[in-house]
Chains A and B, each alone.
Chain A
Amino acid sequence: MVINSFRFLAFFAVVFLVYFLPWMRQRHTRQNLWLLLASYFFYGFVDWKMLPILLAITVAFWFLGGFIRKAIDRGNAKAASRFTTLGVVLGIGLLFYFKYLNFFAGSFAKLLNAIGLHVSWSTLNIVLPVGVSFFTFKLISYVIEIHREKIQPSESFLEFATYIAFFPTIMAGPIDRPGKFLPQLRQAHQFNYNLAMDGCQQILWGIFTKMVIADSIAVITHGAWSLYPEKTSWYLIYAALLSPIQVYADFDGYSNMAIGVGKILGFNITKNFDHPLLARNVSEYWRRWHISLTGWITDYVFMPLNVRFRNWGNLGIFLAISINLVVIGMWHGANWTYVLFGVYHSLLFLPLILSGKFGKNKKLKPGRWGCIQFKDFLGMIGTHLLMALGHIIIFSAGVPSIIRLFKCMINGDWSFVNPFSLLSWYSILAIVVLLILEWFTRNKEFAIQRVSKDYTSKTFRVVFLDMLLALAIVIFSASANAEFVYFQF
């Protein structure tokens, strides 16, 4: 049940109507129970066999949170640390088992074989629970935040389980922090017209970027990553250049839909993107891209490492960034390409660190006629090209494929391919519109948001424009709906 389907629409209509029944609105526990049931139904609909795992791990972490708090209250810092470590190990262990066990064991067996010790490793048939990378990070942050005394443990299991399984975000984020989300579950939600209308706009914009832009480009990029020996050099170049736009339109589209659904129910969900196509260097890019993940890694990985390496100068910063980015790369999945992706990105930070420009990004200022300043524009183009190279790394099937793909690109058929023959005119138009809106709506949460966020006036106009956008989505959406890119992670 994907979020941009009629099935989800029917599901959500029921959830919404029941959630705001007068009897439900009297108590937040009733609303939370209904949300939890809906979330488990939603999750079970994808794979019901994974529900017990989700439930069991939720129970375990809820108890751990309580134990940590009790240990702190008793002044037993060691016990609190032990429980926290146990939580972190449990969370990482869960990820390791489901995502990385086969990869590491297989790689280790290959290594032993390479040095002459013949071992065999039969791959375990491990099925990856949907959204495990996302909800595990929520669980880990819960225990760490309690240990850091930034939050109180959740007294109600219902509240905690609803936070972990919240259906708009369980599949592919954003990764909400407990400090921001749990308090929202402690009050009954009344219907908020402006917030709901804002959510509808955000969902619509998300569907547009996903179905009209991302899915159209996906046809080209999928062809390039899987059938690159048969593609011309120009085709591969176009695919690489379009890939960052595709993944952004896809993932930002999903995030907008999830945040929009949350808003209709009265929740404020963490922002996931801040116009990454406007990034002028790699450091700025990572502050604008997948914010809920990079923020998580920064708080729990980068900052402690940075403190540890603080006496090592630039080398310390570089080491902390490298580890940070390799972790981000590995978070995406178990493949050496993800490790290489992290290494590649950390190398891109080197010039910034050495020149002392790391972390010193100036605010974007418009130039003449409100347009982008030329210097900033060059920076954006340069960053986009570097990201395009990174996408070749992350989307190749393996390290040898990266080399082969680059060989095909350089030594292949250089006969010119007209880009208009690959994409329809309306897809190209939609991409151009997206790029222009990126700049002109950079201060908004999403492109079609009303500046005042007040939808009580001019409702008819808003509805009419929404209807036109919905029609454009239906007519111009790619016929083949590609799966959300981040579902695989």
Chain B
Amino acid sequence: MKRFLGALAIGGIAFFVFCGIVEYFQSQVDNNYSYKYWYMENRRHKVVTLLLGDSYIENAINPSLMGEGAFTLASSSRWIYYDDKLLEKYIADMPNLKQVIFGMGYKPPFFKSYHFPKTDDKEHENNEHEKYMYEKYMHIRYDDNSNHWLGLYRGFIDPSTLIGNNLLCDSLGYERVDGQSVNWQLEHNVDSNVFRLEYAKEQVAEYTGYLKDMARLCHLHKVRFIVITPPCHASYIANVRQEGLDILHGIIDDVRSEYPVEYMDYLQDEEYRADSIYRNSSHLNSVGADMFALRVKKDFGL
């Protein structure tokens, strides 16, 4: 028995030491999160236009066409909580910042899957992954009790990142996506399956709260706060509900009642009808991102 327990103890200790080494190496690898964190820690004073939001902005606007000092801090699958926390962390120490552009897609305010942070349901695995990435690489915890930095324990370590580079964005934080994915027009069907307008009440209140806080921070530091809804393909728009659009616009009206917000809704804009500018039904590809960057720049006089 002693021999058995001894073997288990030796194996267990060695195992945990190795796990610690893997965790350390994992924290040193480059990825979009670590790069954007590094940029904000070291170059934030150069930023004039800060782009925030999820993939609807990260892939939809090419910051190199937005004028000097544009940087994309937006990141795929991000819940607005992290936008607010990132802005709160850096805005006071960004002397050249003139405007913050936040992307508000049609989906996030009522999308159950990864934008519903207060549940442990398996369906929200992405949300757990998000907590891990922000905690490990951007040093932002979801709340005081959040403990997500152990990637091995949570199964979030992708072995390919241990031996390779996972940095997909360019030096301005832009992740370029070319061409179209397979079955790209079908993806709206999947999207429509996960829409849960019934969650809207609780979700929208939380979303509005964070958006309002971002508007407050911008107002406090005399920075323009611009909100845009990026364009989507006709096949996606076919599934958009008027009820949802009313909620979306209601959020802006609510924020505007307290703080200045400039808003443009490009969701159904006629200029973005061509198939060739979409990666999938709800995301622009690099051709679309160039077009859209120039349009936003012009519309808001950047």
Using a CB–CB cutoff of 8 Å, the interface residues on chain A facing chain B are 20, 191, 193, 196-197, 200, 227, 230, 232, 413, 415, 417, 424-426, 459-460, 462-464, 466-467, 470-471, 474-481
Contacts and interface: CB of A to CB of B under 8 A. Distances in A.
State the majority secondary structure of interface residues on A. Answer: helix
Contacts of B205: none
A415 B180 CA distance: 14
Given A191-B1, A196-B4, A475-B157, A480 B162 contact: no
Contacts of A477: 155
A230 B191 CA distance: 12
B160 A425 contact: yes
B7 A459 contact: yes
Interface string B126-169: 00010000000000000000000000101111111010000000
A216 to B, nearest CB: 11
Interface stretch (B9-17, B60-68, B248-256, B265-273): B9-17
Q: Which 8 A-B pairs have the closest CB atoms?
A: A479-B155, A463-B11, A191-B1, A467-B14, A467-B11, A467-B15, A474-B152, A463-B7
Contact of A193 (B3, B14, B183): B3
Nearest to B190: A230
A413 B3 contact: no
A232 B182 contact: yes
A280 to B, nearest CB: 35
Nearest to B14: A467
Contact of A230 (B22, B160, B189): B189
B19 interface: yes
A344 B160 CA distance: 41
B18 interface: yes
Interface in B1-58: 1, 3-4, 7-8, 10-11, 14-15, 18-19, 22
Contacts of B178: none
Interface in B96-152: 122, 125, 129, 152
Contact of B156 (A230, A413, A479): A479
B7 A475 contact: no
A382 B155 CA distance: 36
Contacts of A481: 155
B125 A480 contact: yes
B186 interface: yes
A196 B2 CA distance: 12
Q: Which among B22, B154, B155, B158 has the highest number of chain A CB atoms within 10 Å? A: B155
A197 B7 contact: yes
B155 to A, nearest CB: 4
Contacts of B1: 20, 191, 193
Contacts of B19: 471, 474
Interface in B188-209: 189-190
A330 to B, nearest CB: 29
Contacts of B183: 230, 232, 413
Contact of A470 (B15, B125, B159): B15
Contacts of A476: 159
Contacts of B152: 474-475
Nearest to A20: B1
A346 B281 CA distance: 46
A472 to B, nearest CB: 9
Contact of A479 (B129, B162, B182): B129
Contacts of A20: 1
Given A196-B4, A463-B14, A471-B22, 14 more contacts: A191-B4, A232-B183, A424-B160, A426-B159, A460-B10, A463-B7, A467-B14, A475-B152, A475-B159, A477-B155, A479-B155, A480-B122, A480-B125, A480-B155
A354 B10 CA distance: 59
Contacts of B125: 479-480
A229 B107 CA distance: 23
Contacts of B162: 475
B4 A197 contact: yes
Contacts of B155: 477-481
Count chain A CB atoms within 10 A of each CB in B7, B14, B22, B122 and give the residue with the most: B7
11 contacts: A191-B4, A193-B4, A232-B183, A417-B182, A463-B14, A467-B15, A474-B19, A474-B152, A475-B152, A475-B157, A476-B159
A467 B4 CA distance: 15
